[in-house]
Structure formats: structure tokens, C-alpha cells
Amino acid sequence: MTEILELTAAAAAERVRAGELDPAELFDAYRERAAAEELNAFTWVADGPPANGDYSSAPLGGVPLAVKDLFCTEGVPSQAGSKILEGYRPPYTATVVRKLAQAGAPLLGKTNQDEFAMGSSNENSGFGPVLNPWDRTRVPGGSSGGSAAAVAAGLAPWAIGTDTGGSIRQPAALCGIVGLKPTYGACSRYGMIAFASSLDQAGPLTRDVTDAALLFSRMVGRDHCDSTSLEFPGELTLPKAQDLKGIRLGVPEELTGDTGGVEPGVRESFEATLKLAEGLGATIEPCQLPHAPHALSAYYLIAPAEASANLARFDGVRYGLRVDGDKDLLTMYAHTRAAGFGPEVKRRIMLGTYALSSGYYDAYYGTAQKVRTKISEDFRAAFERFDFVVTPTSPWTAFELGAKTDDPLAMYLNDFCTVPMPLAGIPAISIPSGLSDDLPVGFQLAGPAFSEQRLLDAAYALERAIGFDGSSARR
Amino acid sequence: MLDRDQVLHVARLARLELNDAEVERMASELSHVLDHIEKIGELDLEGVPPTSHVVDVTNALRQDVPVPSFPRDVILAAAPEPLEGGFGVPSPGASPE
């Protein structure tokens, strides 16, 4: 078992294809760990591997996949971390989950998350918080906290999550793993229970950059069920770059200066990583993203506004919870939603409804959309001079459970470095850059739209130079 | 700054029942968050076009080919109250509490 556990997903896939590892044994090894876990990372675990599992030529080699709860999976509980969908079993499977299963990554289980992906700590789940495997008194980050904790703790070889304002990258950083938020439109959103439709993207959470590249390469592509999805331009191959010669890295002063409240330990790790990058041949210079400090405000108007519309569907009529069905229709709606949604979801629905309401629309939502334009322009200008923009992924390492639950704004500030990218629709990756007081720190690289291949290559070269060892979280 | 009446108005728009304690907390928490957010009002955004979508796609068209949809009973299996082959709902006209 220990031997299986220490294989990366890509290495395990290779062994299965070479006939050196029985995929059923691989599945059972992880199934047992997932079923016995104590982090509350899973909301559902499969009984066993799917029948007829011949993975001898499958690109993903039968390596089982943990899937964030909000991906619809046929016949399997898909609750988006919400009591309003408790026990809901959809009649169809999300496109990316289906594609990954077809490529040879069978479903291992569904992972816990902040309710409807709203949160940065996983404390907003209707099914209890997830614990960080590095320190069980701390949060794993969110909203894809279950996926991140599962991969970090070796309960799953790899996982997928979704990122709207940082929900893949931030938990990846806090759990010491790799998380990629792809270009908007690279992966189909069909079957993802929607939070903010113009921002949501699915992506991999993995032990290393190679695993992320392998999983991502099988997630992409246009899907007629999602008219915002696009064909991925060019081919995706496993990263090979040995150095960063000729790569220009821009360090945005607005996101790395004092305004973001970056902790000293995080700053130290960030600066040490810049030194390593320089040693690999990269040039490093400050750059400007003048509107980036306003990204958080724009995000906390746009995302809740879209959420308030998307979550209107949870009304006790077609699926999920119904409360007071013997009263009149409007009372049934209001009581169902009051009972089914948690406090953070209610807060965001209220914020979004307010931002869209008559008399406030222009001042809030309209202004936020203009800021979004300026943020995209800032990135475009930066990418004329730089290949990538780099920042710490999160200003802090994993914080203690309950430390920020009483102050929504303090919790939102966690997303300071991760919200500008989805507003501009561009890809970004977080890789572990080291430890600060025994807790993982994440290093973020962001590139232009559809630059994932170059981004993964650069992250790979950097990963090798950093030499992060996450094995202690797997015990 | 949001007052109690505004919170109740927005809650009605959102079809969300809030108890007294929630109304109080919502007024203070949302005001706190909006104070921070409102700083974007200070930016000069004269003439800046809004971005509603980052992907440069207009009119994603496809052939209008009929395909079978889910069987009715499969969809109704998830409904809290299926009724005569449809979704049962309380009468909008029933007298509220």
C-alpha cells in the first residue's frame, strides 16, 4: 500500500498500462483510505471500481478520481455542499467527469466543499468543515477544500474542483498541492452546479505539475452543451522544461505589496522562489496591475449578482428540499430557501440581489463590469512585457478553524491575489513553494488566455527546483 | 448603509425568509462589506465599456436537430411532489399564514 500511495497519478497510470499494477488493486487501495478518512473530505465514496475496467491503453490508466460535490454525477449524490440538495442524485453526468471516466479515471468519490462553492475555508459546507491534513485544527481552504485535502492526505491520487475566485488555487496552496484554474471556456461547465457563470471553471488538483497536465489534457474541449466552451488551441503535452531561460516574470506591486496583507512567512517563501526562478534563467521585474486592488470589490459584486440569479432555481419545485408545501406558493419558496441555504449563501444572494435591484444596478453591477474591463486591459498590457505574472497564491497559510467565520470581509480578503485572473478569464496555477511554520505556502503563476502549456512547463521547471516534499501530510 | 426595511425588501425580492436576528445581522454585515466595495465608485470609468463575458464568442450556433430528452419519470423522480405527470406546487392563491 505504501508503495502505491507514493506513486504520483501519472506514474500509477504508467504502471497500469505496463501491466505492472492491477487497476482494481489501485482503486481498492484508495477506496479503503477514502472510506476510512477522518478529515471529512468526502461526502460519498464509491463501493468499488466500475465493472469491465480495462485500462491497458487508457491515457489515465484507471487511476481513480475524486470529484467535487458540485459536479453532477448520474445516480450519485451531487449536493454542491448544500442541505437544499441533500440526497439529490442527478439523471446525468457533467461533461468533464464523463470525459475523464472515458479516458480512464473512474469515480472514486465526491468531495466536500463550501456550499455552492461560496467560501475560502470549507467552513460553509452544509455537511461540516474539512480539516487540513497538515494540521487538523486548521482549514484546508476553499471552496474545493475536500478535493485539496483528499489529494494532500493521499486519500485520492488526484481530484477535480472548480475555481470562481480562487476556489482551486487557494485550497491547493493551503494544502501543499498543485491547482490549475484554466482559461475560461477551456473546459465545459455542463453539469457543474452553477455559482457565477461568467467566472466558473473546472480544473485539476494534483500532487504535482505533471499530474495536473495529464488530467487537464483530458478535460478540455468544446462541448455543444456549453456554448461558452471553446476548442483548445494547440496540443497539450506533459511538461518537460528544465529551466526558465528567456522567461520574463512580472511581480505586480499591487498584489505583493503591503495592501494585500501578505504574511511574513509567505513573503519569504515567495521571494525565495523568485530567487530560484532567477537561478533557472528567468528575468524578474516589477510590473503594474493598477486596477488589481479593486478586483476584490468587482468580484464581490459580479459573483453574488450571478449567484443570486443562478440560485433562484432552488425553490422546492423540481428537486431538493421543500418546506411548508401545504402553505401558499410564495411562502413555500421563502421557507424552503430559508431552511435549505446556509448563512454565507444567504449573504451572497442578498448582496447580489441588492446589487442588481432597481436604482442600484448602475452604481454596483454596472461599475463592477467596467472595472472588469480595466482589469483585463491591465493584464493585456502586462503580458506585452512579461510571459507570466507571479504572486503568492494566498496572503496567508492555513488559518485555524473558526478564526474568520465572524467577519465575512476578512474571509473575502483571502481571495485578494486570486480574483483578478478569473475576472480577466486567464489561466493561473498554484504550486507549493515551501513551508512556513510547518504549513504549506502557494506560489501563483498567471498567463494569457490559453497559455496553459507554457504555464505548466514553467511551473514544472520551478517545481523541480523547489523540491517540495508533501509526503508527511500523507502520513 | 443598509437599514432594516431595505434588508426586508431585498429578502422579498430574493424569496428568502429571514428571522429578526438574521435581518439585524444581514444589515450590519452587508453594510460592512458594501463600505469596502463602494471604493470602486471613486475610479474614473467614464467611457469604459462593461465586460459581461471574457470569451470573444457571439452567437454560438448549432444545427436544430431534435434529440430525445430525459423520460418524464426520470426527471420527476427528483421532484419533492410529483403530481399527475408534472411538478406539484401549492396554489399561488392559497391564503398566506
- This model of the complex carries an ipTM of 0.94
Examine residue B19 and state whether it is found in any structural domain, yes or no.
yes
A36 close contact with B: CB closer than 8 A: no
Distances in whole angstroms, Cα of residue A211 to Cα of each of A89, A152, A445, A462? 29, 13, 17, 15
User: Residue A28 and residue A47: Cα distance in Å, rounded?
Assistant: 9
Task: Give the model's pLDDT for residue B1.
Answer: 78
User: Residue A55 and residue A430: Cα distance in Å, rounded?
Assistant: 30
User: Residue A374 and residue A392: Cα distance in Å, rounded?
Assistant: 22
Band (B94; pLDDT cuts 50, 70, 90): low
Distances in whole angstroms, Cα of residue A459 to Cα of each of A157, A234, A454? 20, 19, 8
Interchain CB distance below 8 Å, B90 and A328: yes
Residue of A nearest to B33 (CA): A409
- How much is the average pLDDT of B65-76? 94
- How much is the average pLDDT of B2-11? 95
Q: How many CB atoms lie within 10 A of CB B82?
A: 16
Band (B96; pLDDT cuts 50, 70, 90): low
The residue range of the domain holding B6 is 1-40
Chain A partners within 8 Å of B40 (Cβ): 294, 297-298, 367-368, 371
- A107: closest CA among A96, A97, A99? A97
> Judged by CB atoms within 8 Å, which residues 175-194 of A form the interface with B?
184-185
- Give A141's Cβ-side CA count (13 Å radius): 40
User: Catalytic residue at A245?
Assistant: no
User: Residue A380 and residue A326: Cα distance in Å, rounded?
Assistant: 55
Domain count, chain B: 1
Interchain CB distance below 8 Å, A369 and B95: no
User: Catalytic residue at A374?
Assistant: no
B64 close contact with A: CB closer than 8 A: no
Interchain CB distance below 8 Å, B55 and A230: yes
Band (B54; pLDDT cuts 50, 70, 90): confident
Could you tell me whether strands B82-83 and A439-446 are parallel, antiparallel, or unpaired per DSSP bridges?
unpaired
**How far does B28 lie from chain A, in Å, by closest CA?**
11
Q: How many CB atoms lie within 10 A of CB A1?
A: 12
For residue B50, give the nearest of A315, A347, A370 by CB distance: A370
- A415: closest CA among A302, A306, A308, A311? A302
Chain A partners within 8 Å of B11 (Cβ): 350
Altogether, the residues listed in chain A come to a count of: 475
Examine residue B22 and state whether it is found in any structural domain, yes or no.
yes
Domains and CATH numbers, chain A: 2-245+452-474 (3.90.1300.10)
A131 close contact with B: CB closer than 8 A: no
**How far does A377 lie from chain B, in Å, by closest CA?**
11
Q: Which residues pair with A100 in a beta bridge?
A: none
Cα three-residue angle A105-A106-A109, rounded to 5 degrees:
120
Interchain CB distance below 8 Å, B16 and A349: yes
User: Residue A315 and residue B50: Cα distance in Å, rounded?
Assistant: 31
Residue A42 phi, psi (nearest 5): -105, 145
Taking chain A (475 residues) in runs of 10, the rounded mean pLDDT of each run is 90 97 96 97 94 90 98 98 97 98 97 98 98 98 98 98 98 98 98 97 98 98 94 96 97 85 94 98 97 96 97 97 94 97 97 94 94 97 98 97 91 94 98 98 98 98 98 93
Check A68, A99, A110, A404 and give the catalytic one.
Answer: A68
**Which of B16, B62, B76 is most worth mutating to test chain A (most A CB atoms within 10 A of its CB)?**
B16
**How far does B44 lie from chain A, in Å, by closest CA?**
10
For residue B45, give the nearest of A92, A322, A367 by CB distance: A367
Residue of B nearest to A324 (CA): B90
Chain A partners within 8 Å of B27 (Cβ): none
Examine residue B79 and state whether it is found in any structural domain, yes or no.
no
For residue A373, give the nearest of B26, B51, B80 by CB distance: B51
For residue B50, give the nearest of A326, A366, A424 by CB distance: A366
B68 close contact with A: CB closer than 8 A: no
User: Residue A410 and residue A13: Cα distance in Å, rounded?
Assistant: 42
Interchain CB distance below 8 Å, A198 and B54: yes
> If you search the block for the grid coordinates 480562487, which residue do you land on?
A166
Examine residue B71 and state whether it is found in any structural domain, yes or no.
no
Whether the CB-CB separation of A368 and B47 falls below 8 Å is answered with no
Band (B60; pLDDT cuts 50, 70, 90): confident
Examine residue B16 and state whether it is found in any structural domain, yes or no.
yes
Task: Give the model's pLDDT for residue B58.
Answer: 80
- A208: closest CA among A12, A450, A1? A12
**How far does B82 lie from chain A, in Å, by closest CA?**
9
Tell me the pTM.
Answer: 0.97
Quickly list H helices, A257-319.
264-279, 295-310
For residue A376, give the nearest of B32, B54, B79 by CB distance: B54
Interchain CB distance below 8 Å, A185 and B49: no
> What CATH number is associated with residue B1?
1.10.20.60
**Which of A329, A350, A375 is most worth mutating to test chain B (most B CB atoms within 10 A of its CB)?**
A350
Task: Please tell me what DSSP assigns to residue A362.
Answer: I
Examine residue B32 and state whether it is found in any structural domain, yes or no.
yes
**How far does A401 lie from chain B, in Å, by closest CA?**
20
**How far does A370 lie from chain B, in Å, by closest CA?**
4
Whether the CB-CB separation of A129 and A38 falls below 8 Å is answered with no
For residue B15, give the nearest of A318, A333, A376 by CB distance: A333
For residue A350, give the nearest of B11, B41, B70 by CB distance: B11
Residue of B nearest to A354 (CA): B10
Task: Give the model's pLDDT for residue A1.
Answer: 63
Examine residue B47 and state whether it is found in any structural domain, yes or no.
no
Chain B partners within 8 Å of A368 (Cβ): 40
Q: What Rg do the C-alpha atoms of chain B give, in angstroms?
A: 23
Task: Please tell me what DSSP assigns to residue A378.
Answer: H
Chain B partners within 8 Å of A349 (Cβ): 14, 16
Examine residue B53 and state whether it is found in any structural domain, yes or no.
no
User: Catalytic residue at A68?
Assistant: yes
Chain B partners within 8 Å of A353 (Cβ): 10, 13-14
Residue of A nearest to B10 (CA): A354
Check A120, A121, A147, A167 and give the catalytic one.
Answer: A167
User: Residue A203 and residue A192: Cα distance in Å, rounded?
Assistant: 12
Checking if the pLDDT of B91 tops 90, the result is no
